[in-house]
Chain A
Amino acid sequence: MSERTDDFVTYDAAYVLGALSPEDRAAFEEHLRTCERCSRAVAELAGLPGLLSQATPEMIEAEPPPDRLLPALLHHVRRARLRRTLTTFGVAVAAAAAVLVAIFVPLAGTGTAGTAMTPLGAYPVQATAAVAAVSGGSRVDMSCSYRGASRSAGYLLVAIRKDGSEAELATWTATPDRDARISVGTNVPPEEIQALEIRTTSGEPLLRWHP
């Protein structure tokens, strides 16, 4: 029965799964005694029912995780990235006449402080700022990011007094795609501050902030 022998080639899987009819099963086992190829095929598949037994239909038709999972994860990724860029940014703050204290605040766990500074043109720089009263003057907190700039650039943070005079608060070198966070003290009291400006070292204003 050569026709039957050809059929047997596909019996191996149904055989190990226990799905063959009693007649087919008997015939196939008879065939296995003389067919090395089919015996080898059965041996290859013999471990699979044991593996299948470890899965359940519920696992195969498992409910998907909540839709909000991925957005929440990506949000965490962005926050982790922000924290990291803040802590690795190298800033060189030059001592200026009006600067009492220039420190790099501990960055862990803090978000962006203050309100957004207004861009005065299409520059690759964004910043937020806040002014708080401290004894003897003000503390100015500024967070600044640089996106898409091709090389480092020098910047100034300037306070403009109500009478129009200016106090240079800090200078630093910005590195593309890094964020800077600066906290400086000045003897200008908050009520005297008309505006803050970020300028290039050549004096061109980029961003302005009003209390």
Chain B
Amino acid sequence: MKEAAEDQLMRALHDDHAVALWSYALRLTGGDRARAEDVVQETLLRAWKHPRVLDQTQGSARAWLFTVARRIAIDDWRSAAHRSEVSTDTPPELAIPDDTDRALQGWLVAEALRELSVAHREVLMLCYFQGLSVADAAARLGISPGTVKSRTHYALRALKLALEEKGVTR
């Protein structure tokens, strides 16, 4: 592989997955930013060395990355515990919650939302995440209730499409 192509692959990996991996790693390491950075770096390097894992839907590639990140965080936790000879009754497996599947799906949904237009994302944030009624969302945005309805109508369809592209169907 030529130099430019290899750099490009790493850039693409970074652009597609770094935000999700960073947040996931922060949670895996209990907010330890230095360790989280190591986890993300090691995970993306492994992906770069095995680019075939990326020849699948974004959801499947992400599943691989999250699993690797979790593995690295556990190994890191074990060796750190070993080095400082910390004695603990808690087996390492319990130190890191295995909510990989749920976290994965949530991240894909979050990313699909980020890909929407501002107007579409905004109306979904208000009507779903903040639980506002159509009338309240309309007042907040300074638009008519009819416009809120039609925006949610188009926003949910755009979201559905974005999720399907990521391999999330249900």
Q: Which A residues form the contact surface with B (CB < 8 A)?
A: 7, 9-14, 16-21, 24, 44-45, 47-52, 54-60, 62-66, 69-70, 72-74, 76-77, 80-81
| B109–A14 CB distance below 8 A | no
| A69–B146 CB distance below 8 A | no
A19 and B123 alpha carbons, distance in the complex (Å): 11
**Minimum Cβ distance to chain B for residue A151 (Å):** 18
**Minimum Cβ distance to chain B for residue A84 (Å):** 10
The list of the 6 closest CB pairs from A to B, nearest first, reads: A59-B110, A65-B22, A13-B152, A55-B109, A54-B106, A10-B153
Given contacts A14-B148, A50-B170, A81-B3, contact A20 B14 (CB under 8 A): no
A selection of 29 A-B contacts at a CB cut-off of 8 Å is A7-B149, A9-B153, A11-B149, A16-B156, A19-B128, A19-B133, A20-B133, A21-B133, A44-B160, A45-B157, A45-B160, A49-B128, A52-B109, A52-B124, A54-B105, A54-B109, A55-B106, A59-B107, A60-B110, A60-B129, A64-B19, A65-B21, A66-B22, A66-B33, A69-B18, A73-B10, A73-B13, A73-B41, A73-B45
**Minimum Cβ distance to chain B for residue A3 (Å):** 12
CB of B135 within 8 Å of the partner chain: yes
CB of B48 within 8 Å of the partner chain: yes
B170: contacting residue among A47, A74, A77, CB under 8 A: A47
Judged by DSSP, the binding face of A is helix
A51 and B20 alpha carbons, distance in the complex (Å): 17
A52 and B130 alpha carbons, distance in the complex (Å): 12
Chain A residues in 8 Å Cβ range of B114: 60
Query: Which residues of B, 40-95, contact A by the 8 Å Cβ criterion?
Result: 40-41, 44-45, 48-49
Given contacts A52-B109, A52-B124, A54-B109, contact A59 B11 (CB under 8 A): no
A65 and B43 alpha carbons, distance in the complex (Å): 14
Chain A residues in 8 Å Cβ range of B137: 19
Chain B residues in 8 Å Cβ range of A77: 6-7, 10, 45, 48
| B10–A74 CB distance below 8 A | yes
CB of B23 within 8 Å of the partner chain: yes
A48 and B164 alpha carbons, distance in the complex (Å): 11
| A65–B170 CB distance below 8 A | no
When C-beta atoms are compared, the residue in chain A nearest to B22 turns out to be: A65
CB of B28 within 8 Å of the partner chain: no
| B20–A62 CB distance below 8 A | yes
Query: Which residues of B, 128-153, contact A by the 8 Å Cβ criterion?
Result: 128-129, 131-135, 137, 146, 148-150, 152-153
